[in-house]
Structure 1
Amino acid sequence: MRPFDDIDRLAKSPALDKVAAPLRDAVHKVLRRQDVKDALHGVWLGHPLHPMLAQLSLGSFVSAGVLDVVPRTRRPATALIALGLVSAVPTAAAGWADYADGHEEQQRVGVVHAAANGVMLAGYAASLVARLRGRGGRGALIGWAALAVGSAGAALGGHMAYHQAMGANHAEGYPHIGPGDWTDVGTVAELPEGEPTRRIIGDVGVLVVRRGEQVHALADRCAHASAPLHEGRVTNGDGPPCVVCPWHGSVFRLDDGAVVHGPATAPQPTFRTRVRDGRLELAVTGYAAVPAS
C-alpha cells in the first residue's frame, strides 16, 4: 500500500461533506468582495498566495523546534513561534479562499488539513503562553507535539497541491502540445458573433470568439481547474472583452488571456489567428506577458 492511499480514501469519503460543504458556503458568504478574494488567491502575484505564506508559518515553527534543542536559544525560539502564529492569520485566510473554490475531493482533504493546522496552532499558542510564564521546557515539549501534528497537516496540504493539483496551472501544457503551425479550423462565417465556441486543433481544445472582423482564441481549459471555457460567457463591458469561467467565475481577457479576476492566478495561453479565403487558421502562441491591472 502506498503511503498516501489513506489520504485518497479521505478524498472519496462523502461523510466529510457534512462538514466541508457548510464551511465552503460560509467562506463564500464572508468573502463577498471580489478584490479581497483576488488578493487572497494571489491574482496580483500571478501565483497562489497560500503556499508561499504557509512556508513562512511552518518554517518559523520548524526553526523554533530546532532552536529548542540547542542550549540557551529558547528566547529566539519564542520569537519564532510568535511570528508563526501571527503569519498564520493571512495564511489561513488565503487557504480558506482557495478551499472554497476547490472541488469536492479537494475540500474533503482540506477539512482534515485545516483541522490538523488548527490543533497545531492551538498547541503553539499554549507553548507560547508557557514560555512567557518562564516554563521553557514545558513550552518546548508542547511545541514539538504541535509540530508533529502540523507536519501531518503539511503532508495533507502537499497532497492537495501535487496529487490533487489544487492551485496548479491546468493550462500549462498548451504552449508545449498545441500546434505551432497554422491549422485550419473551419470557416469564419460559421462562428456566431460574440459567442464562445470550441474548436479542436491537434490534441487540444481552443476557445474561439468572433467579434466583428476580429477573432480571439484562448486555451479552452481554464487554468484554475480545467473547466471548459467555451461553456462560459463573454462580457462586453467598458473594458476589453473577457470570458468568464462557467465553474468558479475566473475572468480572462480575450485579447491576451490575462487574468482579470480569480480564483485563477495563471493566464490562459493564447492562439494566433488569421483568416485566409474565408477560413480561420490558428496556431498556439503562449502566455500573456503581464497580468491584467
Structure 2
Amino acid sequence: MADFNRIEDLANATAYDVDGDKVGGVKDVYVNDTTGQPDFVSVNHGLFGGGDSIVPLRGHTLRDGELHLAFPKERIEDAPDLDENGHLTTEDQEAFYRHYGLEGTKDVTTYETDNRFAQAGAAGTGAAAGAGAGYAAGEREVETERRDVADTERRDLVDNDRRDVTNNDELIRSEEQLNVSKDRVESGQVRLRKYVVNETETVEVPVEREEVRVVREPITDADRANYDGNIGEQEASVTLHEEQVNVAKESVPVEKVSLEKDTVRDTERVSEEVRKERFETDGVVEGDLRDDLRDDQR
C-alpha cells in the first residue's frame, strides 16, 4: 500500500543519501504540471548550506521528516547546475536523468494535492512539460487538516477564520543568513638557497713501511769453507721503503633539492551575529488552534 504524504512535508524534510548519510535540507520542490506530483527537489549541501543540487525523486522514501534519496551523496553534490528560472525544462530533466542513471528506479510514495499546488504548477510553464515551478521552502504555508482536529467547535473556528483571512492579515517573517565565501591570498614566501660551510673530515688510510731487524744464524760448513780468514771493518746497508698518503679534493654532486607546494585542507569555524524576526500575538484565546499553528511555523 502506498504512503500518502503532503508536499509541504517534503519541503520541510531533511535529505539523506542512499547510504543513510545526511546531505542537507530541502530547499525547493518541483511539481509536475500534469500530475501535480513532485518530480524533483533541490537540496542544500556544503559548508553552511553554501551549495544546492537538483535530485530526482524516483526511488525515494519520506517518513518522519527524513527524505531518503536513491543516490549516493557524491553524485548528488556533482549534479549539473540549473539556471535560476524556477522551472525545469524537458532538456533539464533529461540532463538530470542521464546524470543520475535512473534505469530501474521507481517512486514508491504518492503525495496529496489540492488546487493551490495545481495552480502553482501551471504558472509560467510555457511549452515545457513535466516539472513545474519550484515550491520554495521559504514560502511554505501551514495547511490545516480537518481530520486531525477532534474537537468540533475548534474545527468550526478554524474554518471560519480561513474564510475571513485576507492578505492584510499575513506577515512575512525574515531573517539574516550567513553567506560564506573564500579569497585566495598570499600567506608567506619560502626561498631555497645554498651556502658553503667548512668541516674537518678524518679518514683512516692503511699504509705500509719497511723496518730493519737483525737476524743471527749459526755458521754452516759452507760458510767455514768460504771464510778468507781476514779480520777487519766491513759494513752492509739495506734501503727502506714506506708509503706516503697524498690528499686531494674534488667537487662531486651528491643530491638535488627543489621546492614543491602541497595543498592542505582544514576547517575553520566562523561566527557572526545575525538578526531573525519572531512572532508574538496579543489577544489570542488560550488553547486556540491558530496559536498552535503559529508555534509550528516558528
For the aligned pair, the TM-score class normalised by the smaller chain equals: under 0.3
TM-score relative to the length of structure 1? 0.20
Which of the pair is proportionally richer in helix?
1
Q: Which structure: larger Rg?
A: 2
**TM-score, normalising length from structure 2?**
0.19
